[in-house]
Structure 1
Amino acid sequence: MLFSQRKKLKVTLLHLFVLCSAQHSAQPETRQVKGIVGTVFYFPERVLNSGNLLNQHFGSIAQVYPVKQSNTNLEKRFQNRLHWNNVTGVFTLSDLQIDDSGVYTVENTDEGKTTRIFQLTVYYVLSKPQVTVHDKISCSVVCSVENGREVTLSWYKGGEILNQTSSPDHNITLSLPLKVDEQNRDSYRCEAANPASNETAVVPHSCIESDPSKVKDGDERTRDCLIIAVICVLVASVVVGFAIYLKKRRNGHSHTDSPEREQDDVQYAEITHIKPAENQEERTGIPELESLKDNPNLTVYYTLQLHHMPASKDVDTA
């Protein structure tokens, strides 16, 4: 008696287990889908002849009838945004909003009832991250982006992730600093991403170009050297040319002034030969003639010079 009751209990438990398993297997799997604010979402399940689209909060929001007719204005918040294509059989929801996130069920009654469940999550449009130079000499940069639902901000070097940040506060700006290796600057990128999209920014050229001792490549250095050399040659040519001009001008003045100075210094006089015997008495009062008598070897130039000396002394005395 006791044995038979135990046996019945086991059979009952087995039936319950099989029934629960059958119900669990009959429950359709929920598929995760994503959308972006302002875009159009296509429900990936077709209803060609008859069926429904349901929302977890509002119930049936669209119906399709066997005569290729549909009613997509069952719920006010989806009016003019929810459509059904009678050719493809696909429901579309346009101009997505954050509040459109939720569970949607597509019921297809074309040939036996099939059900597909979709968990729609709508994300904000990602802003493009901005990379700014924090320290030009050491090439330290900061990447920043506006935060949003499930937004992460990451630094990559090639395919390797170097650093990452996120925050549950959607009202802040995410930022992530990084010191860049100048030799491999092009291999760095900053990426902002959410499950629906991603945006990328690279390190600006000003990070390296701001330091001339490290930035300038061979072509730039060669160009600068050539410019400096040309300027030096031009300046030297001007200086040398001006010096030559001054020298020639000075030599020209010296050659022009020399004959005039010689003419001013030398005065020529007509020499008159006097017979001493005839005019000796008349010339006895002239000191210059007396000196000629005493020094017959003196020249006429010396005599004229002596003649002018008393006058110059008188001028000095005055």
Structure 2
Amino acid sequence: MRFTAALLGLVWVYGVCRSSAQSEVKELKCIVGDAVSLPAAVKKNGLFLKNGSQIARVVRYVPYLTVTGRLQWNSSTGVLSITQLKKEDSGEYVVQNMDKHEVLVSVYQLSVYDPVPRPQVSSRNKMKPNCSVLCSVENGKEVTLSWHREGQTLSHTSSPNFSSPLSLPLEIETNSAPYSCVATNPVSNKTVTVRPEEHCFDPVPRPQVSSRNKMKPNCSVLCSVENGREVTLSWHREGRTLSHTSSPNFSSPLSLPLEIEENSAPYGCMAANPASNETVTVRPEEHCFDPVPRPQMSSRNKMKPSCSVLCSVENGREVTLSWHREGQTLSHTSSPNFSSPLSLPLEIETNSAPYSCVATNPVSNKTVIVRPEEHCFGEKL
């Protein structure tokens, strides 16, 4: 009977205080999984309420908890704690202390938040000078996303629409100090640091191709490019990567050789970095040559003083036929019509030094010596 009367007395006091108490609301903001203590103490008699419903009471130093496990009352301090906080624990908490003749009322607004997620940074454009990134984070209650540099806030955003993430773009300045993308809510913050040199790249240079050996069947070329951060050089053919190389040593160019197969499809030498790529196409027929044939000599007129010969050679790509004497080029010819041989006549001077008929292409040359005394004769007696 005494216990019941005491309990009824507490309920009656609660009813009076709730309707008349004027108490400042104090905010408590906590993170999910943590614990919180309601600062106002009740050691002898009092009530603890959440959103108007009783969650605990103390009667003559004895606690009565409506939820065991997560509600803990400290008999020494009189403080009620809630452990393993959940977002559902958010609400208005009232502590009524009836230890003395007067009723002391304390009101707390508890807000429980998830820890703010770590923001993610993705590249929008990696090429200087218009390099830019996008910082994004899952949105939530009172989440703000902002960009900072050297202690200065550059931009920020928030939204009441939790169905879409928060996103904030940034145009990166060349040679800038690092930037920070910060996601915050009232109980936590997460930061991602963005260093311009990790996100912004110069355009990759165009690779250069030079011949190592132009003669079939061992034709080969060398592809080279100025090296730089995350630059890769590779050979491709018909969508397949044949070889590739990269190096952390930026003081030397990247180089990659290629043995060209006869009658192959075109090759591509590609230089690439995360912002751009450049490709040079290598067609075997433009870099590889058959050895030039040996020219053939035939007499047109063997009789002095109008002795003449004709030098001929099978025509081909970049084949030139020429007459020389004592280091001087006397005549030369070439033709894009590969269906007919090249021919070049020569009027032989009496008592001349030897002549040379030379057939050349970019990989070889062949020479035939013509001595006047072997081709020209005096008038028959």
The TM tier, using the shorter chain, reads 0.5 to 0.7
Matched, 1:64 2:58: yes
Matched, 1:140 2:129: no
For 1:178, the equivalent position in structure 2 comes to 170
Matched, 1:119 2:109: yes
Tell me the percent identity.
Answer: 38
- The answer as to whether partners of 2:149 and 2:177 remain within 8 angstroms in 1 is no
For 2:153, the equivalent position in structure 1 comes to 161
For 2:76, the equivalent position in structure 1 comes to 87
CA-based RMSD: 3.1
Q: 2:35 aligns with which of 40, 51, 56?
A: 40
- The answer as to whether partners of 1:131 and 1:202 remain within 8 angstroms in 2 is no
**SS, match of residue 69 in structure 2:** coil
CA pair 184-84 structure 1, distance change in 2 beyond 3 A: same
CA distance in 2, matches of 1:179, 1:196: 29
- The answer as to whether partners of 1:155 and 1:164 remain within 8 angstroms in 2 is yes
Code of the aligned partner of 2:106:
R
CA distance in 2, matches of 1:64, 1:211: 73
Code of the aligned partner of 1:185:
A
Shift of 1:95: 2.2
Runs of 4+ that moved beyond 3 A: 208-216, 221-224
Shift of 1:206: 2.3
> Greater helix share, 1 or 2?
1
> Greater strand share, 1 or 2?
2
Q: Alpha-carbon deviations, 1:86-138, whole Å to 9, x = none?
A: 23322111222222221110111223321100011222221011122222123
TM-score (norm 2): 0.46
CA distance in 1, matches of 2:148, 2:50: 40
Code of the aligned partner of 2:143:
V
- Relative CO higher for 1 or 2, CA cutoff 8 Å, sep ≥ 6? 1
**SS, match of residue 99 in structure 1:** helix
Q: Which runs of 5+ in 1 are unaligned?
A: 1-23, 229-318
Q: Alpha-carbon deviations, 1:48-106, whole Å to 9, x = none?
A: 33322111242x21112333x2111x2xxx44211112233221112222222211101
CA pair 61-184 structure 1, distance change in 2 beyond 3 A: same
For 1:30, the equivalent position in structure 2 comes to 25
Q: 1:201 aligns with which of 157, 173, 192?
A: 192
Q: Which runs of 5+ in 2 are unaligned?
A: 1-18, 206-226, 230-246, 254-381
- The answer as to whether partners of 1:154 and 1:192 remain within 8 angstroms in 2 is yes
For 1:18, the equivalent position in structure 2 comes to none
- The answer as to whether partners of 2:150 and 2:177 remain within 8 angstroms in 1 is no
Q: 2:98 aligns with which of 89, 97, 109?
A: 109
CA distance in 2, matches of 1:165, 1:50: 48
Code of the aligned partner of 2:48:
L
CA distance in 2, matches of 1:50, 1:183: 66
Count of residues in correspondence between the two structures: 195
Code of the aligned partner of 2:45:
S
Matches within 5 A, 1:4-23: none
CA distance in 2, matches of 1:160, 1:50: 52
CA distance in 2, matches of 1:114, 1:97: 28
